[in-house]
Amino acid sequence: MARGRGLWLFMTMRENSRRPRVVAGEVVANIRDEVRSHYRAGRYPPEIASELEGLYGDGDAGPPFDAELAALREVQFSPEIEAASNKRVIAPLVAGTKRTIRGGLRWYTNALLEQFETFARRTITAVEVLGARLDALESRHAKATKELEASIHDEIGDARRKNRDALARSDDIAAALEDLRSAVERLERRLQRPNS
Amino acid sequence: MKLTYVVQRYGPDIRGGAEKHCREFASRLAARGWDIEVLTTCATDYRTWADALLPGTSDDSGVRVTRFPVIAERDETSFDALSGQVLADPPRTPADVQERWMVEQGPQVPDLVEAVRSEVGSDLMVFITYLYYTSYFGLRAAGCRSVLHPTAHDEAPIYLSMYDEMFRRPRGFVFYTQEEQSFVRGRFDIAATPGLVAGIGIDPPLDYDPSRVRERVGGHDRYVLYLGRLDAAKGVEQLCSFFGRYRERRGDSLELLLAGEGATPLPDVPGVSLVGTLSEQEKWDALAGAEALIHPSYHESFAATLLEAWSVQTPAIVNGYCPITVGHCRRADGGVWYRSYAEFEACLDLVLADHELRGALGEQGRRYVDSFYRWDSIIDRYMEFLEGVRARR
């Protein structure tokens, strides 16, 4: 399905690079868009589509989870806080002081940043775990819903068929009764005729 | 600088990643003029630790190697039962049970630990792999002159509380990847200890010829390659299943070559060929001839085969749930990743159909390896780091 797509669709210029570069993350995003659209158009057989429930199901529920997660992963912490100042006249002095403080506290800010990064990484992991569990739940929910719908459909069909059979049988009984009634009437008529 | 490595197995025929890389570091440092010694066991099998090599001292590529006998082989049945109990809830397992688990895991080499304790001439002692007896007891004996290459990833044993104390001992850490560093720093309180993300060097082959591997494994015109251990933990069963479905849906003649060994029996899938273990030259030939390397593993410490594929400009398709391989692909822009069969199919379709894309991913991968994973630059940084650790002692 991805056949024939041009390389240039996926190329972007990166800073400091003279040649266009293929960005793997964009290629993958493109692949996912295509799989999602095929999934929503119902082009996959059930066994493949069911695997995608968790990844692409309920697509209108908000921004794509993966994109948000990717954005979260891209967040960078840096100790290089802006040191410039807007104060008139004393701006160089203020900026210099800020830079000195920034440099002098580098050991401290670096240690804090490592803790932030650790916290962020574990948070992302927790979100990924939650996402995976939600995916699994959604998948199971979708599967159970389908099974329930199929089961109800079967039951209704069964009931209709049984009903049809019962109606057919009642029609047969009614017809037999009608035949019997006619036969009785004929017999009565014969009995009523004198010397017949 | 005099450096002593402590590692569970050592030698040219040992296939384990950590051990292989230890040997690379040791022999390359020896070639640069450092005095390098290795303390290790007589074992070659990591499941039993049965002695297979002679004890004593020998020379291996300029490195002095001293081997110690293992006093008790691992009883796999008993160890598996204990592991089930210990790893069910690692942080809450009592300390004495954890230590018993460590001893049963092995390799039990008390003489090696004594040798670490009595070794006084080394500037630094470098321990390879956090998991085993050799590092756990060796780090206690080494005092304040140790460096650890944890080779860790997110797995149950690392949450055992006995490792908390162990990770406080080293004066420096050397990591394979940024992901490993982040993980270990998240798990242990080691923010103040110096660390280096050294990686592993990949030396490109002098020559490679895909036609040679075709002769060796049969006439496969177009194939994708899996290279590594053949077991469920590496995702190989899922790969076979995905590939079988792909062939069925596409009616394609593409083949999947599985190169490596493993104990797990794999399903018989049309188009999938087991080619056994390849020699070094065959490996490069096979990588160079592949349309793509497929890396289906969920858990990796480093994924050296990915970098080897990029060394010969072969792009990669990796499991989207493995942070290490996806991290490499993102930084290198050398491969794509999938999380389901449908995405696997789309990745394979795209890489097979778009010749230019395939070439660009492979080339970008090669540049990534050239920039960060060549041995010369890695050894430069590694030596500088170790000198720094020694100076801080």
Instruction: Give the pLDDT band (50/70/90) at residue A1.
Output: very low
Measuring CA to CA, which residue among B327, B304, B290 is closest to residue B373?
B304
**Residue of A27, A53, A123 to mutate for B, most B C-beta atoms under 10 A:** A27
User: Under a CB-based contact definition with an 8 Å cutoff, are residues B301 and A17 in contact?
Assistant: no
Whether the Cβ atoms of residue B74 and residue B104 lie closer than 8 Å to each other: yes
pLDDT for B332-366, tens place per residue? 999 999 999 999 999 999 999 999 999 999 999 99
| Residue A76, min C-alpha distance to chain B (Å) | 13
Model confidence band, residue A10 (pLDDT cutoffs 50, 70, 90)? very low
Q: Are strands B56-60 and B63-68 parallel, antiparallel or unpaired?
A: antiparallel
CB B333 within 8 A of CB A23: yes
Cα B267 to Cα B243: distance, rounded to the nearest angstrom: 11
Nearest residue in A to B358, CA atom = A7
Convert B169-186 to b/e letters by CB count within 10 Å (16 or more is b).
bbbbbbbbbebbbbbbbb
Task: Say if B339 is an interface residue toward chain A (CB within 8 Å).
Answer: yes
Average confidence (pLDDT) over B176-192:
89
Partner residues linked to B38 by β-bridges:
B5, B65
The number of C-alpha atoms within 13 Å of B67 and in the hemisphere containing its C-beta is 20
The 10s digit of each residue's pLDDT in B74-88 is 998 999 899 988 988
Chain A residue with the nearest C-alpha to that of B356: A7
Rounded to whole angstroms, what are the CA distances from B373 to A21, B274, B386? 20, 30, 18
| Contact status of B364 with chain A (Cβ, < 8 Å) | yes
Q: Which helix or strand (DSSP H or E) is residue A74 part of?
A: helix A65-74
Name the one residue in this structure whose structure tokens are 């009634």: A181
**Peptide linkage before A92 cis (omega within 30 of 0):** no
Instruction: Report the percent of chain A where pLDDT is more than 90.
Output: 11
Q: Give the whole-angstrom CA distance, residue B380 versus residue B214.
A: 38
Residue A60 confidence (pLDDT) above 70: no
Q: With contacts defined as CB-CB under 8 Å, which chain A residues touch B329?
A: 24
A24–B335: do the CB atoms touch at under 8 Å? yes
Cβ neighbours of B338 in A, within 8 Å: 31
Of A4, A22, A115, the CB nearest to B360: A22
Q: What angle do CA B57, B169, B68 make, to 5 degrees?
A: 20
Hey, what are B126's tokens? Answer: 């470098």
* CB contacts, 8 Å: B320 with chain A: 28
Quickly state the pLDDT bin for A67 (edges 50, 70, 90): low
Arithmetic mean of pLDDT, A125-140: 82
- Report the length, in residues, of chain B: 393
Instruction: Give the per-residue pLDDT at A194.
Output: 63
Mean pLDDT of chain B: 92
B346/A34 touch (CB, cutoff 8 Å), yes or no:
yes
Cβ contacts (< 8 Å) between A2 and chain B: which residues? Answer: 346, 349-350, 353-354
Q: What is the mean pLDDT of chain A?
A: 77
pLDDT of B387 reads 95
Q: State mean pLDDT over A82-105.
A: 82
Please state the pTM of the whole predicted model: 0.65
CA distance, residue B183 to nearest chain A CA (Å):
8
Interface A–B counts its CB contacts (< 8 A) at: 83
How far does the CA of residue A32 sit from the closest CA of chain B (Å)? 7
Q: What whole-number distance in Å separates Cα of residue B311 and Cα of residue B202? A: 8
pLDDT attached to residue A5: 42
- Which residues from B are below 8 Å from A34, CB to CB? 346
Residue of chain B whose alpha carbon sits nearest to that of A53: B340
- The whole-number pLDDT of residue A113 equals 84
A11: confidence class by pLDDT, cuts 50, 70, 90? very low
CB A48 to CB B341 under 8 A?
A: yes
The minimum CA-CA distance between B179 and chain A, rounded to whole Å, is 10
Q: Token pair of B329, please?
A: 């692909």
Question: Chain A contact for B185, CB < 8 A?
Answer: yes
Rounded Cα distance, A152 and A145, in Å: 10
Closest CA to B329 of B370, B365, B289: B365
Kindly report the nearest CA distance between residue B198 and chain A, in angstroms. 19
Of B66-70, B177-181, B282-286, the range with the highest mean pLDDT is B66-70
Please answer yes or no on whether A52 and B353 come within 8 Å at the CB atom: no
Best probe of the A interface among B158, B339, B352, B371, by most A CBs < 10 A, is B339
CB hemisphere CA count around A78 (13 angstroms): 6
Beta carbons of A27 and B357 less than 8 Å apart:
yes
From CA B344, how far away is CA B92, in angstroms rounded?
40
Determine, for residues B349 and A1 on separate chains, whether the beta-carbon distance falls below 8 Å: yes
> Is the ipTM value over 0.90, yes or no?
no
Of A43-57, B147-161, B246-260, minimum mean pLDDT range? A43-57
SS (H, E, C) chain B: CEEEEECCCCCCCCCCHHHHHHHHHHHHHHHCCCEEEEEEECECCCCCCCECCCCEEEEECCEEEEEECCCCCCCHHHHHHHHHHHCCCHHHCCHHHHHHHHHHHCCCCHHHHHHHHHCCCCCEEEEECCCCHHHHHHHHHHCCCEEEECCCCCCHHHHCCHHHHHHHCCCEEEECCHHHHHHHHHHCCCCCCCEEECCCCCCCCCCCCHHHHHHHHCCCCCEEEEECCCCHHHCHHHHHHHHHHHHHHHCCCCEEEEECCCCCCCCCCCCEEEEECCCHHHHHHHHHHCCEEEECCCCCCCCHHHHHHHHCCCCEEEECCCHHHHHHHHHHCCEEEECCHHHHHHHHHHHHHCHHHHHHHHHHHHHHHHHHCCHHHHHHHHHHHHHHHHHHC
Spell out which residues of chain A touch residue B353, defining contact as CB-CB under 8 Å: 2-5
B82/B99 Cα distance (integer angstroms)? 11
What CA–CA distance (Å, rounded) separates B287 from B210? 8
B75 touches chain A (CB under 8 A): no
> What's the pLDDT score for residue A58?
60
Judged against a pLDDT cut of 90, whether residue B151 lies above it is answered with yes
Mean pLDDT of B316-342: 93
Contact A22 B357 (CB under 8 A): yes
Q: Give the CA dihedral B174, B180, B185, B186, nearest 10 degrees.
A: -170
B336 φψ region: left (φ > 0), alpha (ψ -120 to 50), beta (else):
beta
Q: What are phi and psi of B146, to 5 degrees?
A: -115, 150
Å between A101 CA and nearest CA of chain B: 21
Q: In a 3-state reduction of DSSP, which class is residue A43?
A: coil
Range scoring the smallest mean pLDDT among A165-179, B80-94, B139-153: A165-179
Report the distance separating Cα B92 and Cα B102, nearest Å: 16
Taking the C-alpha atoms of residue B163 and residue B147, their distance in angstroms, rounded to an integer, is: 15
* Spatial separation of the C-alpha atoms in residues A103 and A117, rounded to whole Å: 20
Residue in chain A closest to B334 (alpha carbons) equals: A24
Min Cα–Cα distance to chain B from A99, Å:
23
Indicate yes or no: CB of B342 within 8 angstroms of CB of A38: yes
Q: Which residues in chain B have Cβ-Cβ distances shorter than 8 Å to A28?
A: 320, 336-337
SS3 of A12, please? strand
Which residue does chain A place closest to B332, by CA atoms? A24
pLDDT of residue A64: 59
